[in-house]
Amino acid sequence: MKYSLIMLLLVCSTYKLKAQEKTYFYSNLKLIPAATFELYHSVYDYSVGIAYERAFTKDNRFSWILPVFFGAKKQENDGFVGKEDHKNMLKVNPGIKFYPFGQKIFTYGIGLSLFYLRGRREISMPSYSEISRMTQLGLMLHNSLSCNISKRLSLNLEIGYGPSIWNQFKDIKDRNNHYKPNILTMRHAHFSVGYRF
């Protein structure tokens, strides 16, 4: 019995080591069914997206990634009788990722990216209405955790935080009416399913 238990542990350990030493494909296409961005002042929108990641070193430790998100947000404001809608939100978030421990079954990654956000904000109240085009540009630091189910499939969680350096809200009806807030903070989180090829 003792001998059987030792053999079983050795077989499991060998299998785990082999699994950890897998070589993964360089390209990874990710479907993002759930994502959120903080647009400004704790106003979050909810998005779906797609991302392409490509390793550019043989050990898969460094890669570049290009995620694109599409979303909308409807917010009822309790402070006044009215509503605020965010429509046609497009977010592009290209960057570079580093996997300090390499690609294993459970993989940690850290990255730096730019983000560009563009969309439409509509404010509607009984005595006032505004339709504006919002644009944001900034930097973001990312942390990610991936579970490589196989050589091809992965589940990924990612969070990011950084400054939104350039912000603009421009009235669509009156082009001269616009304002630029100071530096804002941007928070981001998403879940994705990846397919390597």
Answer yes or no: is pLDDT of 99 > 80.
yes
Q: What pLDDT does 175 receive?
A: 59
pLDDT band at residue 98 using 50, 70 and 90 as cut-offs: very high
- Structural domains in the chain, CATH included, are 2-196 (2.40.160.20)
Averaged pLDDT score across all residues of the chain:
81
Model pTM score? 0.77
Answer yes or no: is pLDDT of 9 > 50.
no
What confidence tens digit (pLDDT) does each residue in 18-59 have?
Answer: 444 467 889 999 999 999 887 766 667 788 999 999 999 888
Higher per-residue pLDDT: 163 or 44: 163
DSSP 43: E
**Cα–Cα distance measured from residue 92 to residue 30, given in angstroms and rounded to the nearest whole number:** 14
Higher per-residue pLDDT: 123 or 108: 108
Using CB atoms within 10 Å of the CB of residue 190, give its burial: 0 to 12 exposed, 13 to 18 middle, 19+ buried: buried
Q: Which two tokens stand for residue 140?
A: 């973001």
